[in-house]
Amino acid sequence: MMDLLAGIMMMAPLDFVALAAVVLIGLPHGALDGAIAIHLGFSRSILIFIRFLLLYVAMAGLVIVAWVLAPALCLLGFLVISMIHFGAGDARHGTGWVRSAEVLAHGGLVVAGISQMHRPEVDVIFAYLTGGDTTLVWQGLDMLTVIVGVSLVICLGQALWYRRWRGTALELGALAVLFALTPPLVGFAVYFCFVHSARHVTSITTSLRQHMSAAAMVTQASIFTIASWLAGAAAIWWFADMTDPQPVILRVVFIGLAALTVPHMILVDGFYRRTTRSMKRQFMSR
């Protein structure tokens, strides 16, 4: 145990703080998935809720198994879905292809932007996550970067014509500066904890507060969060090289995020946002 703690303390201080923030601050935002499931009616009976939990855990487990079998392909897929998920949470304007450009600009700046701005450092992290070969990942990212660049130009063009887009342009500019000036893990942690997670929690709690007490949301979120922390700690303890735990810590954190992101995206971006938009349309039509 002391060897593991000593190895952790040898990590770069900023990287250690960034990973700790992702786990302690950012990860709990997904723990509200239980409250979302209750809101969507998955708690109509105990059997339905148990089935939801089993499917959620099974999807997370399948992601981990797939990652073991095809790590490079899974990492690239995780980067793509993360880009879409982040962008969908940040986009505020537009419809149709303009909204798609905004989603790609926001999410792509986080994923492709950080990766390209700090390519050597990020390649080391990618190597940990893939077992060494990062060629496929960078080929995919290079193609995505072109698409993201075009999307950013579209958003900036919208800001020149429409005042309501100027806040979007300022946010994208501020994030670009942050990502350029900070180490990759630090820039990602700041965004993940204080932009993406903060927006998600604010949006979800505001919506769910009409149907669920704050105490109930906190209770179920705490249970999901603690369960995730315990599983991650067990994985680190089981697999880590006690003298150099950083590779395994990075794998556990990011593969764990990938495993939880897939069912989280299906629930939030699929069921929850679609249901919310449908309810809004029904309300506006009255």
Tell me the torsion sign for CA atoms 99, 110, 199, 62. positive
pLDDT-derived band of residue 26, with 50, 70 and 90 as boundaries? Answer: confident
Report yes or no: 60 and 89 within 8 Å, Cβ to Cβ: no
Tell me the torsion sign for CA atoms 101, 106, 110, 114. positive
CB-neighbour burial class of residue 114 (10 A; exposed 0-12, middle 13-18, buried 19+): buried
Residue 224 CB contacts under 8 Å (≥ 6 apart), including other chains: 28, 30, 31, 32, 33, 34
The CA radius of gyration of the chain, in Å to the nearest whole number, is 19
Of 108-112, 149-153, 171-175, 245-249, give the lowest mean pLDDT range. Answer: 245-249
pLDDT-derived band of residue 243, with 50, 70 and 90 as boundaries? Answer: low
d(CA 86, CA 196): 7
Domain boundaries, the chain: 2-284
Average pLDDT over the chain, rounded to an integer: 83
**What is the separation, in whole angstroms, between the first and last Cα of the chain?**
62
Q: Is the pTM of this model over 0.85?
A: no
pLDDT-derived band of residue 273, with 50, 70 and 90 as boundaries? Answer: low
Tens of pLDDT, residues 70-101: 999 999 999 999 999 899 888 888 678 889 99
Mean pLDDT calculated for residue range 21-36 = 77
Residue of 177, 153, 141 lying closest to 101 (CA atoms): 153
Tens of pLDDT, residues 120-141: 999 999 998 998 889 999 999 9
pLDDT-derived band of residue 275, with 50, 70 and 90 as boundaries? Answer: low
pLDDT: which is higher, 256 or 221? 256
What are 62's two structure tokens? Answer: 């399948």
